Structure 1
Amino acid sequence: MRTPLRPLARVLRARADGSNPDLIERENIHNRQQAMQERTHSRAAARLGLMAACFASFFVLIGVRMGHLANTEPMEPVASAPGAEIVAQRADIVDRNGRLLATNMTTHALYAHPHDMVDPKGTAQALAEIFPDLKADALERRFTDGRRFVWIRKVMSPEQMQLVHDIGDPGLLFGPREMRLYPNGNLLAHVLGGYSFGAEGVHSAEVIGTAGIEKAMDARLRDPAQGGEPLQLSIDLTVQATVEEVLQAGITALDAKGGAAIIMDVYSGEVIALASAPTFDPNNRPVPLIGKNDEASDSPLFNRAVQGVYELGSTFKIFAAAQAMELGLVNPDTLVDANAPMVWGKHRIKEFEGKNYGPLLTVTDVIGKSSNVGTASIALMIGGVRQQAFFKSLGLFDPLPIELVEAPGAKPLIPKKWPDIVTITASYGHGMSASPMHLAAAYAAIGNGGIYVKPTLIKQTAAAKGTRVLSEKVARDSVDMLRGVVTTGTASLAEVPGYEVGGKTGTADKPKRTGGYYKDKVINTFASVFPASAPRYVVLVTLDEPVDSTGPKPKRTAGWTAVPVTAEIIRRTAPLMGLRPKVELAQETTLTASSN
């Protein structure tokens, strides 16, 4: 409680003593003021101490931060908002020997701040001269309609950048960014696919895959945890270049609409070359066809080796023979009914050009002569249920597991029902459709001793794991039959001295969009393995609407079209893959002494 200024007890004593009571009040007022001053001084001292401590802390913090900045590399500041950061880095892609297939290149984007432009009309005309795909009128409208920002070009060459710089308008601005570069141009276009920009700003842009392996492996290529480690493909760039050159030459010579070629290692499943024609430049990826009458296969973007799903004709016949041998129903020398035509209900199974190889043929001759009736007889021994199971084990019922974004959509076309007539027609490659890559993988299982391995575009460092579908003996007998097709059968033009090619031709009438089949349009395929004595590779060629017009009568069978193209591919690529030709020694000559 506060002390009274005039305490009654002291006032009474003062009066008794004859003292002045007013002095008591003055003394108490003085004491009270002195106490208040002491409290105010203490509070001020505390506040000054707190402020001094805060200032000292701030100076220490600023000094530490300045020291930290002085010892770090300068970096461009980035936005801290969630999702605002743009990651532009992307790993390179190289072939199996480390040769560059895709990389990044620093370039510049061009944009405008129209409100800073001095001469919008003149600038628009100058830009249209530098970039022919831009229209001066459209640019001028964009520069003068009140916008504050206008994208002009996402990427441009250094020469174009210099020309824009020479225009000298302060409203034209450049932003650094990375773009994807494919140094080999059209080469390997359908495998690489192409790129586009995702999230983008004026100073950086996100490079993303738009097709092919660029899109299928997009997460891997953009993963910072990979440390920029290149993605190494199974492709051999030199072999790929040779395959594309030969394939295009064959398409031109045979007036074909297009084609595909594949080289695959039978043991690892590695695809050494994959070509599709017509092709394109992934550096300048064309726009897809959008007309209602346009077919997907008419576009150069269409990958015929993977997306093309075709009836592959008589190349399927070896599957019937191999399965029947595996089941113990026949052996290579077993005689089967080949008397043509075969009548099955309302259907008549005929041979090419009305021939009749019957009444009986060995299984080996059924494959060598490519007998439809003989193959149908074998298929009926097998039965539809077992035939479907075998096709499925060869991957012929499912989408490809290969690393291309287009692969999952290329599912084989399988009949909903499987009566005996489908069992017959499927045995010689009609009534169901698959891609050339499906067929190559199935032939690899025959070539490697009976194990199905998944095809891959990634270089393998460990032995491939697969599923056994045939015994080694049946696979070996099947390869021998394929070799016979070349030495004495329908693919004699596939003989490449020193490389023991074995394979099977397939000629299938091309289906119409409205139903039925064309009489003069075919899909021709030759599936081969080599060297037949110890197979290492599958080589497969498919041609769309080829025709050999060198003779008096047009020839449209695979033996005259796909086979010679395959032979040329093998002749030119086998040495590139390290395979030496097997030299056949001439027979010894006996010398006889003469008395003359």
Structure 2
Amino acid sequence: MIRTPLRPLARILDARLKGENPDAIERENKRIRHEQMRDQSRQRAEGRLLIMGVCFFCAFSVVGGRMGLLAMSEPVEPRTHAPGAVISASRADIVDRNGSLLATNFDTHALYAQPRHMVDPNAAAEGLVKVFPDLDLARLKKDFSGKRKFLWIKKKISPEQMQAVHDIGDPGLLFAPRDMRLYPNGKLAAHVMGGASYGKEGVHAAEVIGVAGVEKYFDKYLRDPANGNKPLQLSLDLTVQAAAEQVLFGGMKLMNAKGATSVLMDVKTGEVISVASLPSFDPNDRPRPAVEGDASDSPLFNRSVQGVYELGSTFKIFAAAQAVDLGLVNPDTVIDTKGPMKVGGFRIGEFRNKNYGKLSVTDIIVKSSNRGTGRMALDIGVKRQKEFLKSLGFFEPTGFEIVEAAGGKPLLPKKWTDLSSVTISYGHGISTSPIHLAAGYAAIANGGFKVEPTLIKQPRTKMGERVMSSTAAKSARMMLRKVVSKGTASFGEVPGYHVGGKTGTADKPKPTGGYYEDKVIATFASIFPAHDPKYVLIVTLDEPVESSGDKPRRTAGWTAVPVAAEMIRRVAPLLGVRPTVEPANNAVLTLTSSN
């Protein structure tokens, strides 16, 4: 700023000429200068006050906003914790083919204690024992009064239990949020679901991991946030599964069986619509694995994929189908089944020492002749038989999408001789799982194409390579139909659904070698409708005994067949299979007058 002089020369000279006092000019300029300085100081002070006012306003606004947020939020007790890896607790749902829920997550809490923050450890221990009677009071008091800084009390508690712990009122008892895996249908499809448990755990979250079944097989998919929690859709139909399990349970009890399993499969896609194994369990409260005794005694044992059995005469249809496919026979070819028949120094006999004489290939299957099937196997030869059974998938575990399926590897003879070829043709000397058998029968039912059993809903038909000609498959289906209409599976007839199938009864092997005389594995492998098959159903009973008559009956025709027939009667309408009149061969049209 340029200051005005206090005694400007021009004005001083002018004042002296006029006779005025020059000091008055100096005094006036001093006054003007002081007024300018005062105004400048006032403006500076007012600017500083304005800036301070804005700062105070912003500060009080931030404090007030924070106080408002705290007032609106839920109260949370501060918890000390060490920094660590973030635990991913999310897990996708599992649904059936129609979108019905099979597995989901449920919000719950875990209970833990910090003894150093407890007001009255003894009173807290006594209160907890009242809420959770299974806790050890003496152990709790020792833990609460010792040097421990942290301990879990319960990994999962109900809302009622949580409120009861709240009422104890001790600040050292705290709650950790949890995602619990929930199976809303309880035991339904338990062996498929498998179950889940906790992996990494913290006070703010817990990692839910699969321990068996599809939960473990698809564990990475279900836990992957990149999937956007998109549910895993299975091929199972919940309503069909419920009906199948109900019928199977009733059949197992009625036939006094130790265990049972069933597999229902779409013959063109390989989709498993229902699969059951009994006895079962609740995956919401999965039991501990057995550490001693026979594994099959445990409810965790999945008989459909882990149960590797000699499935008896159900294998005879494969020998007949291959013989037709190779052009060695046709359904009407006659084979002499009279004894004696020796192979490799061993006598080949018939059930109950029957002697059928000369039979057609169809009648060999209908009457279930061991000798007739064995003679076809000898004509086929060891090499071709092995190649055929391998093409059907009987040499390796299936790709069924549960972890237990990998353990269901078929048991094959160490040295495949002519004797092995004969016995395997009627289901002895080779042990496979019911899921293997279902895939084999599906190849016959769909016209000769291999299928892979799957638990995932398929968008379209998915058949593999051709393993037999359509002519051989059609002939085999015709034979299976006659087994039900006039053979060993007559109890399997279901009006309107034209069931075809084959029975199989195999003596159960002893753990120490040899076979039991009074224990069998009874199986009925069926297709329906036989003239246009859509589904394969396998029913296997472990140690059944039908006791309504004078003597106990254990064969599949008396035990497994009635159970399978009832199951078809129940599930066929649920599958949308309409009852029809079976088409007749060489139907004759009769013309009548319209009058």
> Aligning the two structures, in what range does the TM-score lie when normalised by the shorter sequence?
0.7 to 0.9
* SS of 1:139 mapped into structure 2: helix
Which residue identity does 1:459 align to in structure 2?
Answer: K
Which residue identity does 1:343 align to in structure 2?
Answer: K
1:13-28 → structure 2 map (5 Å cutoff)? none
Residue matched to 1:141: 142
1:424 counterpart = 2:422: yes
Q: Distance in 1 between matches of 2:556 and 2:126?
A: 56
Residue matched to 2:327: 328
- Give the Å deviation of 1:137: 2.3
* SS of 1:467 mapped into structure 2: coil
Residue matched to 2:27: none
Q: Distance in 2 between matches of 1:253 and 1:124?
A: 50
- Give the Å deviation of 1:138: 2.4
Residue matched to 1:480: 478
Query: Could you give the per-residue CA deviations for residues 309-356 of structure 1, whole angstroms, max 9, x where no partner exists?
Result: 101000000000011111111111111231134222331111111111
Q: How many residue pairs end up in the alignment?
A: 523
Query: Could you give the per-residue CA deviations for residues 349-401 of structure 1, whole angstroms, max 9, x where no partner exists?
Result: 1111111112x211101100000111110101111111111111111110110
8 Å contact kept, 1:143–1:150: no
Deviates more, 1:126-135 or 1:369-378: 126-135
Residue matched to 1:388: 386
Q: Distance in 2 between matches of 1:243 and 1:224?
A: 35
1:361-380 → structure 2 map (5 Å cutoff)? 361-380=359-378
1:241 counterpart = 2:242: yes
Q: Distance in 2 between matches of 1:493 and 1:83?
A: 64
Q: TM-score, normalised by structure 1?
A: 0.84
* SS of 1:161 mapped into structure 2: helix
- Give the Å deviation of 1:127: 2.1
Residue matched to 1:280: 281
8 Å contact kept, 1:340–1:355: no
* SS of 1:572 mapped into structure 2: helix
- Give the Å deviation of 1:200: 1.0
Residue matched to 1:399: 397
- Give the Å deviation of 1:82: 10
Indicate how the Cα distance of structure 1 residues 493 and 170 shifts in structure 2: closer, same or farther if over 3 A, else same.
same
8 Å contact kept, 1:269–1:456: yes
- Give the Å deviation of 1:591: 11
Which residue identity does 1:557 align to in structure 2?
Answer: T
Which residue identity does 2:423 align to in structure 1?
Answer: T
1:491-510 → structure 2 map (5 Å cutoff)? 491-510=489-508
1:220-299 → structure 2 map (5 Å cutoff)? 220-291=221-292, 294-299=293-298
Q: Tell me, which stretches of 5 or more residues in structure 1 are unaligned?
A: 1-58
Query: Could you give the per-residue CA deviations for residues 105-140 of structure 1, whole angstroms, max 9, x where no partner exists?
Result: 110010000112233333323323322332222222
8 Å contact kept, 1:78–1:85: no
1:530 counterpart = 2:528: yes
Residue matched to 2:303: 304
8 Å contact kept, 2:187–2:282: yes
Deviates more, 1:131-140 or 1:90-99: 131-140
1:447 counterpart = 2:434: no
Query: Could you give the per-residue CA deviations for residues 461-519 of structure 1, whole angstroms, max 9, x where no partner exists?
Result: 12214111011111011000000100011000000000000000000000000000000
Query: Could you give the per-residue CA deviations for residues 47-72 of structure 1, whole angstroms, max 9, x where no partner exists?
Result: xxxxxxxxxxxx9xx99xx9xx99xx
Q: Distance in 2 between matches of 1:530 and 1:486?
A: 11
Q: TM-score, normalised by structure 2?
A: 0.84
8 Å contact kept, 1:341–1:373: no
Which residue identity does 1:87 align to in structure 2?
Answer: S
Query: Could you give the per-residue CA deviations for residues 417-443 of structure 1, whole angstroms, max 9, x where no partner exists?
Result: 101111111111111100000100110
Q: Distance in 2 between matches of 1:499 and 1:239?
A: 17
Q: Distance in 1 between matches of 2:213 and 2:324?
A: 39
Q: Distance in 2 between matches of 1:124 and 1:325?
A: 77
Indicate how the Cα distance of structure 1 residues 152 and 354 shifts in structure 2: closer, same or farther if over 3 A, else same.
same
CA RMSD of aligned residues (A): 2.7
Q: Distance in 2 between matches of 1:364 and 1:224?
A: 57
Q: Distance in 1 between matches of 2:373 and 2:589?
A: 42
Indicate how the Cα distance of structure 1 residues 79 and 418 shifts in structure 2: closer, same or farther if over 3 A, else same.
farther
Indicate how the Cα distance of structure 1 residues 514 and 116 shifts in structure 2: closer, same or farther if over 3 A, else same.
same
Which residue identity does 1:266 align to in structure 2?
Answer: V
Q: Tell me, which stretches of 5 or more residues in structure 2 are unaligned?
A: 1-54, 67-72
Which residue identity does 1:310 align to in structure 2?
Answer: Y
Indicate how the Cα distance of structure 1 residues 79 and 273 shifts in structure 2: closer, same or farther if over 3 A, else same.
farther
8 Å contact kept, 2:103–2:181: yes
Residue matched to 2:70: none
1:125-164 → structure 2 map (5 Å cutoff)? 125-164=126-165
Indicate how the Cα distance of structure 1 residues 363 and 189 shifts in structure 2: closer, same or farther if over 3 A, else same.
same
* SS of 2:156 mapped into structure 1: coil
